[in-house]
Structure 1
Amino acid sequence: MIDAILKGGETLKIADCEFEVIYTPGHSNDSICLYCEANKVLFAGDKPLVIRSKDTTYEKRFINALEYIVTKKIETIYFGHGEPHKIKCKRTLINSLENAKIKI
């Protein structure tokens, strides 16, 4: 049963932490990330936030979300699969944004 539909901008309290819901369409139209400012963590799920290649195009709504995420203080990114990203998160996100903005 769905209690609420998250659209972005909401705040969720999970345990002792508050998370900002960030709408991040692109991978799917209902994707979100959860950001905890106090712990400087971002839960990205399946969202491809580490973009190493310049040969793929991304929709404007995803670029806008990534621009917003880059403004956050993030020290760890937890993905839905694999190990967390803990090294130079800000630089990684800036590089991802630059790569995503490239048009072929």
Structure 2
Amino acid sequence: MVFRGNTSFGSNVLFSGDVLFSGDVLFSSDVECSADVVFSDDVVFSGDVNIGGYVAFIGNVIFSSDTVFSGDMVFSSDLVFRGITVFSGDVVFRGDMVFRGD
């Protein structure tokens, strides 16, 4: 699945295939991804997030609720985590980070 423009999701979202977002993305509810995801612009998650595949974040990212990552990740820009955050895969951080939560 490919999203080329700015994208907003207002309800719960489940992705079971690979996803590429090339514009800004706003998720205002829970998100679950079971495959690879690439975010090439800014992303805001305001609900719970569970991502089980490889993830690459190239733009700024804000997680404002609980987050679980069970796959490998690359973060190449600034991050803000405001809820409980769990990492169980390999993680590479290349930008500034702020953790506000447990």
> In proportion to residue count, which structure has more strand?
2
More helix by share: 1
TM-score, normalised with respect to structure 2: 0.30
**TM-score normalised by structure 1 residue count:** 0.30
